[in-house]
Every structure is written in structure tokens, then in C-alpha cells.
Amino acid sequence: MPKPIHSPAAPQAIGAYSQAMVHGDLLYLSGQIPIDPRTGNLVEGDFSVQLQQVLDNLQAVCVAAGTDLRHAIKLQVYLADLSNFAAVNAAMEAFFTPPYPARAALQVAALPRGAVVEIDGIVAVQGTSHAAD
């Protein structure tokens, strides 16, 4: 049975969805945008600052599930402007080590709250003890 995951260190869902769901040995992350979980507002700053907040939010949800974002299997990156693709690559190279997760990156017409980036993904859970709680 899938189990919802919630982290107070990540932004609360802004719709009818869970931050993530664990099923078996996999964590399915809902999309995160650059919201500061303390204020509920989009972070200010350039694209790199906003992308880092997204990674921090995803990491917080992973930790709540007993895993780490560095165990990502697949990430989907949604960009308001595809010209930020090189910045995404740089951030991924800095955050992850080979082998890198599978990834898709695409430009979209709009993201929630006017965000410039959103990422969701699938992450391996280290063991299933948390999923069975």
C-alpha cells in the first residue's frame, strides 16, 4: 500500500496532493518549486538560488522518507525558460556524482506561482522499514 510522506522542512502542498508517496522501494516526489518553507513565499534571487531551493525542498522530503536525493533514479525538470538549461546541468554536476540520475528537462508555458523551475522525480528508498511504518 502506498504511504504518503510529509516533511515540515519542505513547503506544504498547494493542492490536493502529497509531498511524496513511498511504494515498495521507491519514493515518488511531487514537484517542488522554489518556495521557502518557513515563509511560504518564492525565494528571491537569480535562477541558481531558486534552483538550489528546489533541491533543498526535494532533499527535505527525501530525508523524511529515510533516503537522500542523491539516490534519485529519475528527475523531471520543468523550466519557464529553456535558456536556463546550462545552469541546471551545472547544478546537477555539483549536487550529484556519476552515475547521474536519468533526467528530462523541458520548457513549459507556466509554473505554479510564477516559478521559474520545478522538479519532481523518483528516488530509491534505502530499505523498506520507513515505508512499512
Closest to 63 (Cα-Cα) out of 103, 4, 120, 6: 6
CATH number at residue 86: 3.30.1330.40
Please give the pLDDT value at position 127.
Answer: 56
Q: How does residue 14 score in pLDDT terms, banded at 50, 70 and 90?
A: confident
Whether 46 shows a pLDDT value over 50: the answer reads yes
Higher pLDDT, 2 or 131: 2
Q: Is 130 among the domain residues? A: no
Q: Is 53 among the domain residues? A: yes
**What does R_g of the chain's alpha carbons equal in angstroms?**
14
Closest to 61 (Cα-Cα) out of 133, 12, 94, 99: 12
Q: Is 73 among the domain residues? A: yes
**What are the tens digits of pLDDT across the range 67-112?**
999 999 999 999 999 999 999 999 999 999 999 999 999 999 999 9
Q: How far is CA 132 from the centre of its chain?
A: 23
Kindly list the distances between the CA atom of residue 59 and the CA atoms of 11, 27, 108, 122, in Å, as whole numbers in the listed order. Answer: 12, 12, 23, 12
Q: Is 131 among the domain residues? A: no
